Amino acid sequence: MRLAGKKVIALVDEEFEDLELWYPVHRVREEGAEVHLAGEVKDKTYVGKYGVPAKAEYSFDELNSQDYDGILVPGGWAPDKLRRYPKVIELIQEMHRDHKIIGQICHAGWVLISAKILQGVTVTSTPGIRDDMENAGAIWKDEPVVIDGNIVSARRPPDLPPYGKAFCDLLADES
């Protein structure tokens, strides 16, 4: 329970990649952290690409980045929606400024691009958004997991085990 006392936001919106949301959420909870699912609408049930539901316990507007130690951004098509909410961008920017742990996998890089926090940052993502990541100033690598400062990135569902471990390791090291 090395993450006891830690709090993490997991963002949700329609068509999140089911495994890319739930695997990290369960992994972080197994280590003792409290994870809050947050969507645009509190108590709304969002449905993943493959039909797995996720009920938002909080709306984005209810969240204060100061109350959390990290944030998980899932892939799928949800990131293209998430990046359009000013509060999501604000949360990512504040957490980055405060050196809190930001986890992103697959298409989740779109949210970090919109938050304008990738200049000079080494990351990975699904190869489909490599150009987007590089055009935002990131240094892109084709590796299962890349850690640069407080940002942990991964490519796709097969990379979930090392991604989950890397996110938890960084969160455990935060003081």
pLDDT band at residue 165, thresholds of 50, 70 and 90?
Answer: very high
Torsion of CA 107, 170, 40, 111, to 10 degrees: -30
The question of whether 168 is a catalytic residue gets the answer no
Position 12 scores a pLDDT of 98
Residue 76 to residues 19, 30, 120: CA-CA distances in angstroms? 10, 24, 25
Catalytic one of 26, 36, 99, 107: 107
Q: Output the CA angle 112-114-115, nearest 5 degrees.
A: 60
Beta strands at 53-55 and 45-47: parallel, antiparallel or unpaired: antiparallel
Mean pLDDT in residue range 157-173? 97
pLDDT digits (tens, 9 = 90+) for 33-75: 999 999 999 999 999 999 999 999 999 999 999 999 999 999 9
Mean pLDDT in residue range 119-123? 98
Residues 12/38, Cβ–Cβ less than 8 Å: yes
Q: What is the mean pLDDT of the chain?
A: 97
Helices (H), the chain: 18-30, 78-82, 86-97, 109-114, 130-135, 160-173
Catalytic one of 96, 99, 106, 168: 106
Q: What are phi and psi of 150, to 5 degrees?
A: -95, 5
pLDDT digits (tens, 9 = 90+) for 77-112: 999 999 999 999 999 999 999 999 999 999 999 999
